[in-house]
């Protein structure tokens, strides 16, 4: 009798593990499940790059692209001296603003003396945006942000702002390893996480972690993987992200934008890119009237 009970408990426990679901389900969790034949998604790297007069990690740049194509936006989160979360990729100001020095040496109001600079080195009239302002704009316009948190910023601080503003349905947290993903999930079990699944071993770690499958989208790297990996990711109900930013974008620019179509046909669901307008044209993705 004891043996039968033990077997029953083992089977039950295994079944629960395989079919674990998140009780904190949200609209975003539903919409980011893998579905065969769904429209591909463009993820705009750093909120938009390479557009004259429109800097990276700038709300006005996000608005500019949003008016033209359907997309989600990857943004980078840094922190000022007075603990204000802002959009900024670098630790220093020189490359992307008219200022100098480290961003954490300034209070936010002090940063407003500087203007953002576009990728061609031209100063603009735009200023460093607060994360909370961008988040609320995204919420008001149903625009999804994928949020890259700099090492100097506490994940909890970012999640607190998301929860405070009830912006869970427009927020995806980017993580780079299983430990980061587990920490973020523990803090916010209602959020989607972008998780690294660049090979079958990384995917296996994720599948056997405590994170529900529905909370994950799989970042498969900045190089093309085999279609077999994409199929395996899809078999668990997860979408695949390809980081085309960098070499793959350059390859498409040199050889033809039809390559984006080929990558989608191989199993990619989300293309993270520095060339969102070109990708949208290649994939025939247009704003709804």
Quote the pTM value. Answer: 0.91
Report the pLDDT value the prediction gives residue 24, as an integer from 0 to 100.
56
Per-position DSSP letters for 123-142, written without gaps between them: B-S--PPBHHHHHHHHHHTT
Nearest residue to 61 (alpha-carbon basis) of 147, 121, 129, 120: 129
- Calculate the CA 174 to chain-centre distance: 5
Question: Which 3 state secondary structure label does DSSP give 20?
Answer: coil
Report pLDDT for 287: 87
CA 113 to chain centre: 30
Mutual orientation of helices 155-164 and 131-140 as an angle, nearest 10°?
A: 40
Radius of gyration of the chain (CA): 20
User: Counting every residue, how long is the chain?
Assistant: 289
Digitized pLDDT (tens) for each residue of the chain, 289 residues in all = 444 444 333 434 433 434 345 555 568 988 899 999 999 999 999 999 999 999 999 999 999 999 999 999 999 999 999 999 999 999 999 999 999 999 999 999 999 999 999 999 999 999 999 999 999 999 999 999 999 999 999 999 999 999 999 999 999 999 999 999 999 999 999 999 999 999 999 999 999 999 999 999 999 999 999 999 999 999 999 999 999 999 999 999 999 999 999 999 999 999 999 999 999 999 999 988 6
d(C-alpha 53, C-alpha 55), whole Å = 7
Domains of the chain in sequence order: 27-76+130-282 (3.20.20.190)
**Cβ proximity of 66 and 143 under 8 Å:** yes
User: For residues 88 and 67, what is the distance between their CA atoms, to the nearest angstrom?
Assistant: 22
pLDDT at 31: 87
């Amino acid at each position: 009798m004891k043996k039968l009970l033990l077997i029953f408990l083992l089977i039950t426990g295994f079944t629960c593990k395989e079919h674990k679901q998140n009780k904190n389900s949200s609209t975003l969790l539903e919409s980011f499940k893998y579905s065969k034949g769904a429209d591909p998604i463009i993820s705009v790297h750093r909120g938009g790059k390479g557009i004259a007069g429109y800097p990276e990690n700038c709300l006005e740049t996000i608005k500019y692209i949003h008016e033209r194509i359907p997309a989600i936006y990857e943004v980078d989160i840094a922190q000022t001296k007075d603990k204000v979360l802002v959009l900024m990729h670098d630790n220093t100001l020189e490359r992307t603003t008219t200022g100098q020095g480290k961003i954490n040496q300034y209070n936010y109001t002090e940063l407003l003396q500087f203007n953002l600079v576009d990728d061609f080195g031209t100063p603009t009239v735009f200023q460093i945006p607060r994360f909370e302002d961008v988040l609320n704009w995204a919420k008001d316009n149903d625009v999804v942000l994928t949020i890259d948190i700099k090492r100097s910023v506490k994940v909890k601080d970012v999640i607190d702002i998301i929860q405070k503003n009830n912006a869970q349905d427009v927020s995806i947290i980017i993580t780079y390893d299983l430990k980061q993903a587990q920490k973020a999930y523990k803090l916010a079990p209602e959020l989607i996480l972008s998780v690294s699944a660049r090979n079958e071993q990384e995917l296996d770690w994720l599948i056997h972690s405590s994170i529900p499958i529905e909370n994950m989208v799989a970042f498969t790297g900045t190089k093309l993987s085999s279609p077999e990996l994409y199929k395996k990711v899809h078999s668990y109900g997860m979408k695949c992200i390809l980081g085309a930013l960098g070499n793959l974008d350059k390859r498409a620019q040199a050889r033809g934008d039809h390559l984006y179509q080929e990558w989608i046909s191989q199993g990619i669901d989300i293309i993270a890119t520095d060339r969102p307008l070109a990708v949208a044209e290649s994939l025939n993705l247009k704003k709804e009237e």
